[in-house]
Chains A and B, each alone.
Chain A
Amino acid sequence: MRAFDYTRPASIEEAVAAWTPGAAYLGGGTNLVDLMKTGAMGPAKLIDLTCLPGLDAIEVKGDGSTRIGALVRNSDLAHNRDFAARFPMVAEAILAGASAQLRNAATVGGNLVQHTRCPFFQDGISACNRRDPGIGCDAIGGDTGSMAVLGWSQSCIATHPSDFAVPLAALDAVIEIAGPNGSREVPMAEFHRLPGDTPEKETALEPGEIVTAIRLPAEAAAFAAHSRYLKLRERTSFAFALVSAAAALVIEDGRIAAARLALGAVAAKPWRVAGAEALMVGEPPSPELFARAATAAMEGAMPSGDNAHKIELARRTAARALARAAAGTPAEMPALPASVFGDPAHA
Chain B
Amino acid sequence: MPDPIPMPTRFGSSGQPVTRRDGVAKVTGAATFAADNHPNGLLHAVYVPATIARGRVVSMDVAAARAHPGVVEVYTPDNSLKLAGDPDAKPFMFAFRMHVLQTDRIAYANQPIALVVAETIEAANEGARLLAPVYEAETPRVTLDDAEGYKPEAAGFGAAETVHGDVEAGHAAAAKSVDLTYETPSQYHNAMETHAVVAEWDGDRLTLDLPNQAIVMSKAAYGYYFGIPPQNVLIRSPYLGGGFGSKAMSHAPVMLAIAAARAIGRPVKLMLRRDQMFGPVGHRGATRQHIRIGIDGDARMTVLDHHSLSATSTFDDFIEPAANASQGLYDAGALRSSHTGVRLDVGTPGPMRAPGEASGSAVLECAMDEMAEAAGMDPLEFRLKNYAETEPGTGKPYSSKALRECYAQGAEHFGWAGRPLEAGTMRDEAGMLVGWGMGTALFHAPMFAAEARATLRPDGTGLVETGAADMGQGAWTALAQIAADALGLPLDKVEFRAGTSDLPDGGVAGGSGHTATAGGALHSAGMDAIARLAEIATADPASPLHGAGNATIVARDGRLVVEGDEERGEDFATIIARAGGEAVVGTGGASRPPEAGAAHAMYAHGAVFAEVKVDPELYQMRVTRLVGAFAAGRIINPKLAESQLYGGMIWGLSFALHEEARHDRRTGRIVNGDLAGYHVPVNADVTGFDVITVHEDDPYVNALGIKGVGEIGITGTVGAIANAIRHATGTRVRRFPIRIEDLLAGG
Is B532 on the interface with A (CB-CB < 8 A)? no
Beta-carbon contacts under 8 Å, A196-239 to B:
232-239
CB distance from A142 to the nearest CB of B (A): 5
Stretch at the interface among B83-91, B586-594, B644-652, B679-687: B679-687
Q: Is the CB of A2 within 8 A of B129?
A: yes
- With contacts A1-B125, A117-B676, A236-B622 taken as known, whether A242 is within 8 angstroms of B740 at the C-beta atoms is yes
Bitwise interface map of A from 306 to 347 toward B, beta carbon under 8 Å scored 1, else 0? 000100110011001000000000000000100111010110
Beta-carbon contacts under 8 Å, B535-585 to A:
none
Name the contact of A345 in the complex, choosing from B428, B617, B671 (C-beta under 8 A): B428
Is A39 on the interface with B (CB-CB < 8 A)? yes
Stretch at the interface among B96-104, B296-304, B597-605, B657-665: B657-665
- With contacts A2-B129, A341-B622 taken as known, whether A237 is within 8 angstroms of B741 at the C-beta atoms is no
Is A13 on the interface with B (CB-CB < 8 A)? no
Q: Is the CB of B126 within 8 A of A313?
A: no
Is A125 on the interface with B (CB-CB < 8 A)? yes
A-B contact count (CB 8 A): 93
Interface of chain A, main secondary structure: loop
- With contacts A316-B617, A317-B618 taken as known, whether A142 is within 8 angstroms of B683 at the C-beta atoms is no
Q: Is the CB of B664 within 8 A of A346?
A: no
Is A29 on the interface with B (CB-CB < 8 A)? no
Residues of chain A lying within 8 A (CB to CB) of residue B145: none
Is B176 on the interface with A (CB-CB < 8 A)? no
Q: Is the CB of B618 within 8 A of A313?
A: yes
Residues of chain B lying within 8 A (CB to CB) of residue A238: 682, 684
- Across the interface, name the chain B residue whose C-beta is closest to A319: B617
Is A141 on the interface with B (CB-CB < 8 A)? yes
- Across the interface, name the chain B residue whose C-beta is closest to A345: B430
Q: Is the CB of A142 within 8 A of B682?
A: no
Residues of chain A lying within 8 A (CB to CB) of residue B430: 343, 345-346
Is B64 on the interface with A (CB-CB < 8 A)? no
Residues of chain B lying within 8 A (CB to CB) of residue A320: 617-618
Q: Is the CB of B429 within 8 A of A141?
A: no
CB distance from B615 to the nearest CB of A (A): 5
Q: Is the CB of A235 within 8 A of B681?
A: yes
Residues of chain A lying within 8 A (CB to CB) of residue B125: 1
- With contacts A2-B126, A316-B618, A320-B617 taken as known, whether A143 is within 8 angstroms of B679 at the C-beta atoms is no
Name the contact of A336 in the complex, choosing from B275, B615, B684 (C-beta under 8 A): B684
Is A305 on the interface with B (CB-CB < 8 A)? no
Q: Is the CB of A142 within 8 A of B666?
A: yes
Q: Is the CB of A143 within 8 A of B671?
A: yes
Beta-carbon contacts under 8 Å, B598-651 to A:
613, 615, 617-620, 622
Q: Is the CB of A239 within 8 A of B617?
A: no
For the complex, give the distance between the alpha carbons of A3 and B666 in Å: 32
Residues of chain B lying within 8 A (CB to CB) of residue A120: 671
CB distance from B427 to the nearest CB of A (A): 11
For the complex, give the distance between the alpha carbons of A138 and B666 in Å: 9
Is B61 on the interface with A (CB-CB < 8 A)? no
For the complex, give the distance between the alpha carbons of A238 and B622 in Å: 14
For the complex, give the distance between the alpha carbons of A339 and B682 in Å: 14
Q: Is the CB of B429 within 8 A of A143?
A: no
Residues of chain B lying within 8 A (CB to CB) of residue A125: 51, 669
Q: Is the CB of A143 within 8 A of B620?
A: no
- With contacts A309-B741, A320-B617, A346-B430 taken as known, whether A142 is within 8 angstroms of B679 at the C-beta atoms is no
- Across the interface, name the chain B residue whose C-beta is closest to A146: B677
Is A9 on the interface with B (CB-CB < 8 A)? no
For the complex, give the distance between the alpha carbons of A317 and B618 in Å: 7
Q: Is the CB of A234 within 8 A of B658?
A: yes
Is B122 on the interface with A (CB-CB < 8 A)? yes
Q: Is the CB of A119 within 8 A of B744?
A: no
Name the contact of A119 in the complex, choosing from B432, B672, B679, B683 (C-beta under 8 A): B672
- Across the interface, name the chain B residue whose C-beta is closest to A343: B430
Residues of chain B lying within 8 A (CB to CB) of residue A232: 618, 620, 740
CB distance from B142 to the nearest CB of A (A): 12
Bitwise interface map of A from 32 to 66 toward B, beta carbon under 8 Å scored 1, else 0? 00000111000000000000000000000000000
Is B30 on the interface with A (CB-CB < 8 A)? no
Is B105 on the interface with A (CB-CB < 8 A)? no
CB distance from B486 to the nearest CB of A (A): 44
CB distance from A326 to the nearest CB of B (A): 16
CB distance from A103 to the nearest CB of B (A): 14
Beta-carbon contacts under 8 Å, B297-323 to A:
none
Q: Is the CB of B126 within 8 A of A3?
A: yes
- Across the interface, name the chain B residue whose C-beta is closest to A141: B666
Q: Is the CB of A345 within 8 A of B739?
A: no
Bitwise interface map of B from 411 to 439 toward A, beta carbon under 8 Å scored 1, else 0? 00000000000000000111010000000
Is B1 on the interface with A (CB-CB < 8 A)? no
- With contacts A142-B664, A336-B684, A346-B430 taken as known, whether A235 is within 8 angstroms of B658 at the C-beta atoms is yes
CB distance from B187 to the nearest CB of A (A): 15
CB distance from B528 to the nearest CB of A (A): 50
Residues of chain A lying within 8 A (CB to CB) of residue B682: 99, 235-238
CB distance from B44 to the nearest CB of A (A): 13
Bitwise interface map of A from 1 to 32 toward B, beta carbon under 8 Å scored 1, else 0? 11100000000000000000000000000000
Name the contact of B739 in the complex, choosing from A234, A236, A237, A339 (C-beta under 8 A): A234
Bitwise interface map of B from 61 to 74 toward A, beta carbon under 8 Å scored 1, else 0? 00000000000000
Residues of chain A lying within 8 A (CB to CB) of residue B51: 125
For the complex, give the distance between the alpha carbons of A141 and B665 in Å: 9
Q: Is the CB of A239 within 8 A of B622?
A: no
Residues of chain B lying within 8 A (CB to CB) of residue A345: 428-430
Beta-carbon contacts under 8 Å, A228-286 to B:
232-240, 242
Determine which residue in A234, A242, A316, A339 has the highest number of CB atoms from chain B within 10 A of its CB, and name it.
A234
CB distance from A214 to the nearest CB of B (A): 25
Q: Is the CB of B613 within 8 A of A341?
A: yes
Q: Is the CB of B658 within 8 A of A39?
A: no
- With contacts A142-B664, A341-B620, A345-B430 taken as known, whether A309 is within 8 angstroms of B671 at the C-beta atoms is no
Q: Is the CB of B685 within 8 A of A237?
A: yes
Q: Is the CB of B618 within 8 A of A233?
A: no
Q: Is the CB of B685 within 8 A of A39?
A: no
- Across the interface, name the chain B residue whose C-beta is closest to A2: B126
Is B27 on the interface with A (CB-CB < 8 A)? no
Residues of chain A lying within 8 A (CB to CB) of residue B740: 232, 234, 242, 309, 313
Q: Is the CB of A1 within 8 A of B620?
A: no
- With contacts A125-B51, A235-B679 taken as known, whether A143 is within 8 angstroms of B744 at the C-beta atoms is no
CB distance from B171 to the nearest CB of A (A): 37
CB distance from A33 to the nearest CB of B (A): 13
CB distance from A51 to the nearest CB of B (A): 24
Q: Is the CB of B615 within 8 A of A340?
A: yes
Name the contact of A237 in the complex, choosing from B126, B275, B683, B744 (C-beta under 8 A): B683
Q: Is the CB of A234 within 8 A of B679?
A: yes
Beta-carbon contacts under 8 Å, B261-300 to A:
273, 275
Is B25 on the interface with A (CB-CB < 8 A)? no
Residues of chain A lying within 8 A (CB to CB) of residue B667: 126
CB distance from B610 to the nearest CB of A (A): 15
Is B93 on the interface with A (CB-CB < 8 A)? no
Q: Is the CB of B429 within 8 A of A1?
A: no
- Across the interface, name the chain B residue whose C-beta is closest to A306: B741
Is B745 on the interface with A (CB-CB < 8 A)? yes
Q: Which residues of A contact B (CB under 8 A)?
A: 1-3, 37-39, 99, 117, 119-120, 123, 125-126, 138, 141-143, 232-240, 242, 309, 312-313, 316-317, 320, 336, 339-341, 343, 345-346
- A sample of 24 inter-chain contacts (CB < 8 A) reads A1-B122, A38-B275, A117-B676, A119-B677, A123-B669, A126-B667, A142-B664, A142-B666, A142-B671, A232-B618, A234-B739, A235-B682, A235-B685, A236-B684, A237-B682, A237-B683, A309-B740, A313-B619, A313-B740, A313-B741, A316-B617, A341-B622, A343-B430, A346-B613
Additional 12 contacts, C-beta under 8 A, given A236-B684, A341-B613, A346-B428: A232-B740, A234-B658, A235-B679, A236-B685, A237-B683, A239-B679, A240-B676, A309-B740, A313-B619, A340-B618, A340-B620, A346-B613
Give the top 9 A-B pairs by smallest Cβ distance, nearest first: A345-B430, A237-B684, A236-B684, A309-B741, A340-B620, A119-B671, A238-B682, A343-B430, A143-B671
